Structure 1
């Protein structure tokens, strides 16, 4: 089974690192093959190829249209993370978002 590729996009890639790590942990606990990587908004377009989904930081409303346009060009769905995603310590909420998208 191919591992799902999930991009977690934020301004500089810092907060998305925590979300990506927790998402991977939750996926493993659920028996899912998933690779999540943190991507800064400025360079996410370089890594979109082969992605299955994009999770976008809620603090990037100005970048949402660009992210959706680039991801849409590759047939990749985009979901905006809730503003309180930092409270998702076990990654289950982020995983539920991915599962709903796919």
Structure 2
């Protein structure tokens, strides 16, 4: 599972990505999480299964969802207090919720290969 955490400049997304990687590792889960920026998103989307969008980018959420849809990439808007999730467990729960919410959705070719 490849997670892309997007924020404006990449600083806060770096912390979220690092924390969710640690939380996944502690639970024995194979998740990679990287930080990206709104500007790098068009390139970064190709390598992501889920995009976590920083709350301060809510204004761009519809565009991000539109860009992600043809790739079969899920998009999750992070809550405003996500940066208080110091161990990454809450962020990992949001990822799990996004995955379980889409189990009825048609699978993309990339998901079928995973």
* CA root-mean-square deviation: 0.8
Secondary structure, aligned partner of 2:86: coil
Structure with bigger helix share is 2
Question: What displacement does 1:50 show?
Answer: 3.4
TM-score (ref. length: structure 1): 0.93
Q: Which whole-Å CA distance do the structure 1 matches of 2:39 and 2:63 have between them?
A: 10
Rg: which structure is higher?
2
Distance in 1 (CA, whole Å) between partners of 2:43 and 2:73 is 14
Of 61-70 and 34-43, the range deviating more from structure 2: 61-70
Runs of 5+ consecutive residues of structure 1 not aligned to the other structure: none
Q: Which has the higher contact order (CA 8 A, sep 6+)?
A: 1
2:60 to 56, 63, 72: 63
Give TM-score, length-normalised by structure 2. 0.84
Distance 2:29 2:53 in 1: 21
Secondary structure (helix, strand or coil) at the match of 1:48 reads helix
| Deviations 1:48-101, CA, capped at 9 Å, x for gaps | 113110100011122111111111121111111110011100000110011111
Aligned match of 1:72:
69
Query: Match of 2:106?
Result: none
Q: Secondary structure at the match of 1:61?
A: helix
